[in-house]
Amino acid sequence: MRHQTALFVMIVFTSCTFSGCAPAVIMINKIPELKGGSPLGDISPLNFVIHDFVDARMIENPHKVGYGILGFNHNVLADREAKDLVRQTIVLELKRNGHQVLEPQEKDKADVIIDGSVQELWVGATGLYSGEIRASTKIKITANSLKLEKSLSKIYQGIASQNVTALFKFVNKEGFERLLNDALLSMVKEFTMDPDFLEVLQKVKKQPSAS
Amino acid sequence: MKNHISSFRCPMFILFIFLSLSCSSYGPPPPNIHIAKSQLSNHKKVALTVTSSELDVKYSRADFSLLSPLAAMFGVLPFLAVLGIEEASDSKKDHSRAIIIQESTTKQYLEKLLGDNFIERIRTTNPFYIGSRHHDRPQTLITEGFDALIELRVEDLCLKRKSYSEVLEVYLLVTGKMISLHDNKIIWSQREEDLSDEVHTYDAYKDDNASILKGILEKMFHKIAVRMANDIIFSK
């Protein structure tokens, strides 16, 4: 009987311990969207073209967005490429504030053309002992306009972190998704509230159309 | 039957503890509340109070402990006891480090940094009159003609050691809420956090009256205060 009990406990522990081994795939059903006020909404509506972003993260799998605890849930994958996730989040924020996002073929009609590269996008457990998980994004953005002589090039980054209350909590998909979204939105906020970027948009507005 | 139950009691107790820890809440923060433009126009005079926690240092506590995975693999209780002792010792070391830096970055300094930046941003568009107050009672504020109270709080400010290195980054978490004094309802709430781009050693942060740290804090507080104020100013 004693052996059976030990076996039972061992099986339960082993299954609990390795329950998170499989790759966690984050299904992004909805692109994260900011709510509340933004100075971007105070600028007269502009036409944007946002080119496909470049993934500069030096990661083989373009869907990989994170890692779990000590190999558990090691591969956190998004259902779309990381660069598309970032681009779509920015598109949504521009549209939310009354701007139009045109197809790349309509470049001639664009007031502002944005190019970008994803330098960093990940979510993971950063402190096993402290029980902390964190998500981070970093993008490089270049804004150009045919109506302006100079272009603006900047790097923006956003982070989100959360202390998990339990020491041995296995980070789950919902936690990863929420934090990744928070980090993306934090980055978008930084980029869209940057006084330099807003100044460029104001100048574009004041310029007469090229055509 | 009795023997059968008692043979299960100990392992079941350990299992219960393990599962309780595994399943304890992840605790996401409450969602932000965004103020509507129509609500904003009802508030002409707003008071601001700012409070702050002390700056913390997480240097020794950030050390990776091999006991954690051992505890997860082989059982919890004995390892938890050792982890507790380890944690207490590390906390003491970090507390001493924090006290030294707190002399240059007092609570009053942090509150002023956040409050001044927030007020400055609000006053660029003046959606309402804003005045700084020090923890006045709601009734006193109503008597003075205030319609609402904005409470900003530095929930967490710490120097956190980066994994596998000797350098620390600055982490800042600020929460804010706006309460309508007429019906005591929260009409706006926001949670903002930031992590410094720069990293330095503890000594670099501490030296020269914490001048490097102060420079970083000024940038971070400005960024967060502007974000929070923007959410009110540009309400939809």
pLDDT digits 0-9 by tens, A13-31: 555 455 445 556 666 667 8
**Residue whose pair of structure tokens reads 């079941």 in the numeric block:** B12
Nearest to A37 among B64, B195, B233 (CB): B233
Q: Is A172 in the B-facing interface, judged by CB distances under 8 Å?
A: yes
- Evaluate if residue B156 carries a pLDDT over 70: yes
CA gap B133, B136 in Å, rounded: 6
- Non-local (6+) Cβ contacts of B119 within 8 A are B48, B130, B132
The residues spanned by each domain of chain B are: 37-61+91-233
Residues of chain B neighbouring A20 (CB-CB closer than 8 A): none
pTM of the model: 0.77
Fold classification of B37-61+91-233 is: Rossmann fold (3.40.50)
Q: Is A162 in the B-facing interface, judged by CB distances under 8 Å?
A: yes
Q: Is B227 in the A-facing interface, judged by CB distances under 8 Å?
A: yes
CA gap B211, B203 in Å, rounded: 12
- Evaluate if residue B142 carries a pLDDT over 60: yes
Nearest to B195 among A16, A129, A159 (CB): A159
The three-point CA angle A191-A195-A200 to 5° equals 90
- Evaluate if residue A61 carries a pLDDT over 80: yes
Share of chain A above pLDDT 90, in %: 28
Nearest to A38 among B35, B63, B230 (CB): B230
8 Å CB contact of B34 and A37 = yes
Fold classification of A21-206 is: Rossmann fold (3.40.50)
The residues spanned by each domain of chain A are: 21-206
Residue-averaged pLDDT of chain B: 82
Share of chain B above pLDDT 70, in %: 75
Over the stretch A149-195, which tens digit does the pLDDT of each residue have? 777 777 787 766 665 543 444 556 777 788 888 889 989 988 888 88
Q: B79 or A43: whose pLDDT is higher? A: A43
Nearest to A5 among B7, B19, B230 (CB): B7
CB B85 within 8 A of CB B118: no
Quickly state the pLDDT bin for B216 (edges 50, 70, 90): very high
**Sign of the alpha-carbon torsion through B184, B189, B195, B197:** negative
Residues of chain A neighbouring B83 (CB-CB closer than 8 A): 167
Which range in B75-84, B95-104, B131-140, B171-180 is most confidently predicted, on average pLDDT? B171-180
Q: B107 or B74: whose pLDDT is higher? A: B107
Residues of chain B neighbouring A35 (CB-CB closer than 8 A): 32, 34
User: Which chain B residue has its CA at the smallest distance from A165's CA?
Assistant: B26
Which range in A54-68, A113-127, B134-148, B201-215 is most confidently predicted, on average pLDDT? B201-215
CB A168 within 8 A of CB A193: no
Quickly state the pLDDT bin for B21 (edges 50, 70, 90): very low
Query: E strand or H helix at B149, and its extent?
Result: strand B148-161
Q: Which of B36-40, B42-46, B101-105, B121-125 has the lowest mean pLDDT?
A: B36-40
Quickly state the pLDDT bin for A93 (edges 50, 70, 90): very high
Q: How many CB pairs under 8 A join A and B?
A: 114
- Non-local (6+) Cβ contacts of A81 within 8 A are A55, A62, A63
B14 secondary structure, DSSP code? H
8 Å CB contact of A129 and B19 = no
CA distance, residue B112 to nearest chain A CA (Å): 23
- Non-local (6+) Cβ contacts of A59 within 8 A are none
Angle between helices A173-192 and A82-96 (to 10 degrees): 50
Q: What is the pLDDT of residue A23?
A: 56
Angle between helices A2-18 and B67-74 (to 10 degrees): 130
